[in-house]
Structure 1
């Protein structure tokens, strides 16, 4: 797998976007993942997102250069655990690997009879996880569950 698959000039990396002072800012990491298609890898622009309005979840949006963006939502803890060991029993499985000295995180997604696997840079995944934990620490998620409801009464 060539290192070029993971490079993009389209604002790579993690960014925080302000949404006011009442809750932490959302985190978005833009990167390119490698979609594994048999013996080939196809680069796919991908956004990893975390928002305290959904404190237990992360969102991954894949844009394969078409008008259709495919988005998956799964547990933040699943991504965190998958960084270190095979995790997941259902539609999403995540596991670490190292190829030629480069850390990777593989993510497998299944919907019905369809399945696809992508490989992401472990550095990007680590940066995203760290930023998400800075936004909402592990164990503090419950404090953010009703924030949107309470704000509507202000």
Structure 2
């Protein structure tokens, strides 16, 4: 990572950590989980200033419909958000989201950006990430689990076993 507010190197810090990568992303529950992580720096808008914040994007085939975004603003506290993978994908094309998370694309001086707005109670913050980084992250998440095949990765047996009265 270059340390710039937007890391747009050819390899934007994304990695597939699982063993047993599947060509074509065919869904199978008997395959090792495939976590995908991407570390980058986003711009956090605070009043008139932008602050660089180290951010980890994470996707795991054990939670096939979700992505996780963890912000580390250089303190002991890391703020993590979970939202739908489809929301991130849709937000690359147009404004997406109606509630606590909204995502939309932009281009400034020839650089593609992805804005993300997060709201919790009365608090709200907005960050901008490199579209190159987001695109690479989404691409690798789809390689791990293809769109439409997420259901094959849900551990329903484990879920049903946790329901009251089920053993």
Is TM (by shorter chain) over 0.5? yes
* Counterpart Cα distance in 1 of 2:91 and 2:22: 31
Work out whether residues 114 and 134 of structure 2, in 8 Å CA contact, stay in contact via their aligned partners in 1.
yes
1:4 Cα offset (Å):
2.8
Count of residues paired in the alignment: 150
Alpha-carbon shift at residue 18 of structure 1 (Å) = 2.4
Q: After TM superposition, what 4+ stretches of structure 1 lie above 6 angstroms from structure 2?
A: 8-11, 20-23, 150-153
The 8 Å contact of residues 16 and 26 in structure 1, kept in 2 or not, is answered as yes
* C-alpha deviation, 1:27, in angstroms: 0.1
Q: Tell me, which stretches of 5 or more residues in structure 2 are unaligned?
A: 24-32, 160-167
Query: Is the contact made by 1:11 and 1:30 (CA closer than 8 Å) also made in structure 2?
Result: no
Structure 1 unaligned segments of length 5 or more: list them: none
TM-score (norm 2): 0.81
Q: Deviations over 1:18-63 (max 9, x none)?
A: 2568994200000000001111100000000000000000000000
TM-score relative to the length of structure 1: 0.87
Q: Which has the higher contact order (CA 8 A, sep 6+)?
A: 2
CA–CA distance in structure 2, aligned partners of residues 9 and 101 of structure 1: 16
Quick one: structure 1 residues 138 and 11, their matched pair in 2 at CA, closer, same or farther if it must change by over 3 Å?
closer
What's the counterpart of residue 118 of structure 2?
A: 109
Higher Rg of the two aligned structures = 2
Deviations 1:54-75 (A, max 9, x none): 0000000000000000000000
Q: Could you say what the CA RMSD is over the residues aligned between the two structures, in angstroms?
A: 3.5
